Amino acid sequence: MAIAASVVAAAAVLTIVLVNRGLPVWAPQAPEVATIDEPMIKASHGEQLDPVAAPVRAAVVSVGADFARAQHGDQDIVTLRDGEMSIDSTDREPITIIAGDTRVTLEGSRAKVVARRGVLVTTAVFAGTAHVTAKGRSQVIDAGDVWIREAEPQRPVEAKATDSLAAFRTGWEALRAHHHPQAIAAFDRATDPVVAEDAAFWAAIATERAGDLDGAATRLRAFLERFPSSPRAEDARTALQRVTK
């Protein structure tokens, strides 16, 4: 027992000496612990993902229109058989209006389209642009312009519509050429419902540009009374304030 105690005491003294001298002291090494790479964590079926905003379809307001609307893939298609439609695609999905052999595509724009008996006859653009394709020919119609179908030989019962389209085209060309009296006279002849609304508005504007402010005010009031829900109503009210200052 005395010998064992001496050995233990000697070992303790040796350890103290080694520590005091800064020398390493041997100690049993802890066993290494094996590590396992964690597998990639996948989203569970119940995980809530950020919702994807659904595209917003263009706003369509019809005025007694006969039409059908459908989504074909990523295309919003309106088939317009007859009547008038006001369309707003501002900050919305593009939309295509088809009537007969003509199609109008609106993207980020506002316009009014008119079709009679399956034939698209006018497209008035209020903001942005419209891409009109008729008989294989494409045109870009800018804001403030009106696309008018080329007059074609018509049956006698359709002569009034044809005459009105021709009169509207004459008025529009005269207005752009600053021939205001001729423009007013031509717009006044465009009385068919196909173009009557647009013709009345532009006749009032032509009257203002001709310097007849009182006459323009009278025409603008008549326009607002006759077409209170027209896409041009706000422009007409602004013009009325302008000519009655």
**What are the pLDDT digits (tens) for 209-235?**
999 999 999 999 999 999 998 888 999
pLDDT tens digits for range 183-210: 999 999 998 888 899 999 999 999 999 9
**What one-character DSSP code corresponds to residue 108?**
S
Give the rounded percent of residues in the chain with a pLDDT score beyond 90.
Answer: 38
Q: Which long-range CB contacts under 8 A does 5-10 form with residues at least 24 apart? A: none
How far apart (Å, rounded) are the C-alpha atoms in residues 117 and 132? 19
CA dihedral for 98, 99, 100, 104, sign (positive or negative): negative
Which pLDDT does position 6 carry in this prediction? 47
Q: Torsion angle, CA of 224/118/95/62, rounded to 10 degrees?
A: 30
Residue 89 burial class via C-beta count within 10 angstroms: exposed 0-12, middle 13-18, buried 19 and up: buried
What mean pLDDT do residues 79-102 have? 89
pLDDT tens digits for range 6-15: 444 444 444 4
How far apart (Å, rounded) are the C-alpha atoms in residues 48 and 64? 45
What mean pLDDT do residues 158-174 have? 83
Task: Give phi and psi for 230, each to the nearest 5.
Answer: -65, 145
> Ranked by mean pLDDT, which of 26-30, 117-121, 154-158, 204-208 comes out on top?
204-208
Q: Are 183 and 169 in contact (CB under 8 A)?
A: no
Helix (H) or strand (E) holding 62: strand 59-72
Residue 64 burial class via C-beta count within 10 angstroms: exposed 0-12, middle 13-18, buried 19 and up: exposed
Per the DSSP assignment, residues forming a β-bridge with 134 are 102, 137
* Identity at 233, one-letter amino acid code: A
Of the two residues 136 and 242, the one the predictor is more confident about is 242
How far apart (Å, rounded) are the C-alpha atoms in residues 193 and 150? 17
Of the two residues 14 and 166, the one the predictor is more confident about is 166
Domains and CATH numbers, the chain: 56-150 (2.60.120.1440), 154-245 (1.25.40.10)
**3-class DSSP state of 52:** coil
pLDDT tens digits for range 35-46: 333 333 344 444
H runs (alpha helix) in 27-158: none
What's the pTM value of the predicted model, to 2 decimals? 0.53
> Strands, E, within 146-243: which ranges?
146-148
**3-class DSSP state of 72:** strand
Tokens of 111: 């316009």
Which pLDDT does position 2 carry in this prediction? 47
> Ranked by mean pLDDT, which of 35-39, 101-105, 153-157, 221-225 comes out on top?
221-225
Which pLDDT does position 216 carry in this prediction? 95
Does residue 237 surpass a pLDDT of 90? yes
Tokens of 68: 């059908």
Which pLDDT does position 229 carry in this prediction? 87
Q: Are 114 and 121 in contact (CB under 8 A)?
A: yes
